[in-house]
Structure 1
């Protein structure tokens, strides 16, 4: 059963899996001890719709945990930053054992709430490190720079002009590192590439992202890095290529999206669920579960572009992917704000 809970009310929706649902989905990955225990009550608190690409990956992973029998899951979307602490308290009061979400705009207030509920585990997207002063708060974000780098290799091989547009949400570390990794990948196959970089000041404003992309295309960009929704729409309308971020939109833009870096939140959530079940949840950095070697990110299938990317580029992608997995090659994590060049 699916549905939404509006921020104003927590008349909650619980998701429970049957054995048939698990068999139908073929979901694997949860520790065996979780499957034998009672499902853990998980609550998601999101400041944007669950369709938004970053949050959608958390939402999908939570629903996968439900289908595998390891969790009950309730969520509230479109929560304002000012309302976020209240919703945290309500879920904690209602017995949630693990609360997941993102507190980038409400760091101090959220940490105060965390301290009020020491028996509740909090796994929250954050720009700051975990702090032993908050022993029940673990932090994460999408460290998918490995996959972003690989997508850049493909982009560099597919651009004709070497003029690439980049549209991001906010210039925060979580976004900056992906853009830098993408640009580093581009330079592997297009060393003289130039980049137009702009941030729209929103996590979910497809019209503004689209308008920004149009301006870059008018300024000569022949390939767009779609960190935000709306960019691929502009690329499609103007007949140029795009590279996706976090989710796979190739099916929606079959003639436009040539590659995408995917985030898989399942390793992060499964690790947290195992820690809660084992009574070992503590302040920690779960960001490393997003690394390629942990299964936390990957390059999406090329779909309609299979066979259209130069073989030399795909060979380099395969070589670098193997090296990243075995530790002989490391993609730089650069959190500084990227600039046009």
Structure 2
């Protein structure tokens, strides 16, 4: 009888222990991420995943994170986002421009889940948006490219003709022209965020057209590898890519999402999360410049550091006038600069970009 009662008590204790463990597991904040490329792209998606890992490090066993990589924009994205929302995630980060409408649609279907969409412009009661002022970093690297080029031709590999990408091209030209009025930018559009084959071919085409520095708004290190093989310089995208091209990698424009992700997850935990429109830059730490290679002259590094300091303080705006468009028409007067609204809708080239902007 005693043994039976002891066994009964042991079973009850075990069951209660199991229930407690289950409650603890349910109390974890579930955080989901959707990536357009592979986490091993060493570019855009890789850097977002570094932000996810920062969340894990910050909160430990209080959070449970998950991610889905290589999700194409469109119907596939909607399916993945809905699956994350339906599987108990408290907050979901969707990290590509083309996820905007799918995220908005799913957010309306799951009003108790918090959603955050990167680089978009549509919000709702449970959907916030965030992006970084990458153009600030591209202005800095445009200046460095303007000093280092010998051919006065900078090659630029672009993904899609959306304002974010057009801003980056134009900011590069603005930085370039501020130190080298004779230099121009040639653009090849690959219509993909991540396609090493297309990116590599684009780099080859640009080098064949005289470019001796390659910049990119695509996510694979293929352009840098081509640059290294052809003996020209290149700039990394989103993260340090120097391991792929140690003799060619000048530096990189760094995206840093860690603090933002940590804050939004904390807000979700505290119940204080609300949809916001965040556009951070060099001053907020969302955008940075990586280490410069030893082969970059010290005076160019010093120039870049001064420019970074001026952008951070607000003394310098990359789109300060006078600015002319590609046709030669003045669009920004001297002493003025483009507003955020104008930047967010940018669909034109500045003077100094060769070729037509796809529509």
- Normalising by structure 2, we get a TM-score of 0.77
Q: How far is the alpha carbon of 1:64 from its aligned partner?
A: 1.2
Larger Rg: 2
Looking at structure 2, the residues matched to 98 and 106 of structure 1 have their Cα atoms a distance apart, in angstroms, of 15
Looking at structure 1, the residues matched to 40 and 164 of structure 2 have their Cα atoms a distance apart, in angstroms, of 19
**Aligned positions of 1:136-155 closer than 5 A:** 136-155=126-145
Matched, 1:47 2:61: no
Deviations 1:172-218 (A, max 9, x none): 12222222222211222212101111210111111111111111111
Looking at structure 1, the residues matched to 250 and 140 of structure 2 have their Cα atoms a distance apart, in angstroms, of 12
Give 2:89's aligned residue: 96
Give 2:232's aligned residue: 240
Greater shift in the superposed pair: 326-335 or 191-200: 326-335
Give 2:286's aligned residue: 296
Q: CA 1:257–1:150 in structure 2 vs 1: closer, same or farther (change >3 Å)?
A: same
Matched, 1:172 2:170: no
Q: How far is the alpha carbon of 1:106 from its aligned partner?
A: 4.4
**Aligned positions of 1:230-269 closer than 5 A:** 230-269=222-261
Q: How far is the alpha carbon of 1:245 from its aligned partner?
A: 1.9
* Residue of structure 2 aligned with 1:74, choices 48, 66, 69: 66
Give 1:108's aligned residue: 101
Give 2:8's aligned residue: none
Does the Cα contact within 8 Å between 2:153 and 2:185 map onto a contact in 1?
Answer: yes
Greater shift in the superposed pair: 45-54 or 115-124: 45-54
Q: CA 1:40–1:183 in structure 2 vs 1: closer, same or farther (change >3 Å)?
A: farther
Q: How far is the alpha carbon of 1:319 from its aligned partner?
A: 1.9
Give structure 1 stretches of 5+ with no counterpart. Answer: 1-37
Give 1:279's aligned residue: 271
Which structure is higher in helix share? 2
Q: How far is the alpha carbon of 1:282 from its aligned partner?
A: 2.0
- Normalising by structure 1, we get a TM-score of 0.81
For the residue of structure 2 that corresponds to 1:286, the secondary structure is strand
After the TM superposition, list the runs of 4 or more consecutive aligned residues in structure 1 that deviate by more than 6 angstroms: none
Looking at structure 2, the residues matched to 287 and 57 of structure 1 have their Cα atoms a distance apart, in angstroms, of 17
Q: How far is the alpha carbon of 1:310 from its aligned partner?
A: 5.0
Deviations 1:81-122 (A, max 9, x none): 312222222212221111012353343333121011111110
For the residue of structure 2 that corresponds to 1:59, the secondary structure is helix
Looking at structure 2, the residues matched to 316 and 106 of structure 1 have their Cα atoms a distance apart, in angstroms, of 38
Give 1:340's aligned residue: 354
Looking at structure 2, the residues matched to 300 and 39 of structure 1 have their Cα atoms a distance apart, in angstroms, of 35
Looking at structure 2, the residues matched to 104 and 297 of structure 1 have their Cα atoms a distance apart, in angstroms, of 18
For the residue of structure 2 that corresponds to 1:203, the secondary structure is coil
